[in-house]
A and B are shown apart, each in its own frame.
Chain A
């Protein structure tokens, strides 16, 4: 009896889960394994090219220091963008969750989400218009300040950071907002009744309780920023060579898919290793 019921349950569970498994197979597993396959080839297996299995693509990463240097540069970019996003985004989330109420909150939310809804190329090019010499920002600053300022942020690491922060800020705002929203106002009142000042409440109560949300947002930002290529290329110009742009080059310009695939997998491994190493710390903060 028990066996048949368990069998029925298993069949039902399989039927209910099969769309999800199908989706995972088609959308995640197949493309990833295709890329994994490519990464072990000497050349693309079409267009009548000669190819054989090799690990040369992975070896290439270690043979020259260039890739490792670029990887480090991209990781640093990821850290900076994540840090700036958290520092800017958390106060925004706090204001949204705890200060403004009603219609004003809805309006501000719309503004926060707006970058998500605009085309990323349009977004980046509008930053280019703002940041270049004699651009919007340059003129605005000169209109306000009495002395002459030369402000040309275009094609600099700063421009890349600004563009990336703008694109990814909503993630940390939304995740922090949800975490802050879950903190009961009476907790803050209780802390005040016990004599705690705002700063104490922030450090001892709000930040620890919102930590899971902040961390979730930080991870959501860090991972794609390390592999980003569009913002570095368009806003960084000559300085905009990062790990992500190199991978893009392999696919789009050089047509060396196997190397691009191998570099992608190395990046994936490094990011996973970083998250795994940080996970004890993240877990502690999340409880």
Chain B
């Protein structure tokens, strides 16, 4: 068990910077989610901590000790790969035992710990199976057991659930959280799925173009995104831009949003209300409903405002009575307006 720290990490591939001065602390025993669009550098950061990527400059500490010169095989990490990377020439048992055999652990000790690890992931009954006989969820569990059986200092998960279908993914999220809690190991995981990051992590970090945009506990980051990118990436917020004036924010269609500073504000899709008649709320816009998407319990409306696409999400009942397309009023309560302290 150990805390991890990266300090001013830089990694460039040609002209592109995959990591650009990233400094971040991963607390001991925490579950840290690295989140960002593809190409944001999140996987590069994870692989730099693992040791597969050698940073150009910057430092990596595990348990307080610098590890830049420690090769992967000596870093005492556990890693779960996106495709699980189970050894196809070995049984479930042999896969899990690999890290112990490599460390020349005694036979009795190895057998005991392999059994414990397999029981932890609830696969004790499949120990002698070949890996190709397992389902996706079972492979995921074997990969977990294999990664934690050596009692690594850090557990690194590279998009561990992306290969599973949705129902299984939700089950495995709960399972992953349970295992991490039971073992109490510092865990860092990479995902592009915001919901997954919010569910699993007790801290998240958001990356964009190799830079760390924001980090903190999920609720804090979600409620107060501080910058338009985070607001948009985490929670799909609609960005609205205007010109600041003394009495409020003047929009391009001449409307004034009283009391807002701007120049950019954000509104989450679930906060937007749609009406056919003009509402009384002070924040209201005239816009054009382009498309209503039925999604079972929840529906989505695609709206065009001044040539910008906006999105509203709500229970299907909220959108009843709206035309399939046409002019509508958009409004939202004052308290669900997201303002940015430092406007980018």
Contact = CB atoms under 8 A, between A and B. Distances in A.
Given A191-B98, A200-B102, A184 B72 contact: no
B77 A196 contact: no
A204 B99 CA distance: 12
B78 A193 contact: yes
B305 interface: no
A193 B102 CA distance: 11
Interface in A179-200: 184, 186-187, 189-197, 200
Interface residues of A, number: 17
By CB atoms of chain B within 10 A, which of A189, A205, A209 has the most? A189
B344 to A, nearest CB: 37
Given A190-B79, A191-B98, A196 B85 contact: no
B73 A195 contact: yes
Contacts of B186: none
B85 A184 contact: yes
B290 interface: no
A193 to B, nearest CB: 4
A195 B79 contact: no
A215 B156 CA distance: 37
Contact of B102 (A184, A189, A195, A208): A195
A194 B89 contact: no
A197 B77 CA distance: 14
Contacts of A194: 73, 78, 98-99, 102, 146-147, 150
A196 B73 CA distance: 6
A273 to B, nearest CB: 29
Contact of B85 (A189, A197, A209): A189
Interface of B: 50, 52, 71-79, 81-83, 85-89, 98-99, 102-103, 146-147, 150, 156
19 contacts: A184-B83, A186-B81, A186-B83, A186-B85, A187-B87, A187-B88, A189-B72, A190-B86, A190-B87, A191-B98, A192-B72, A194-B102, A194-B147, A195-B99, A195-B102, A196-B73, A196-B98, A197-B73, A204-B98
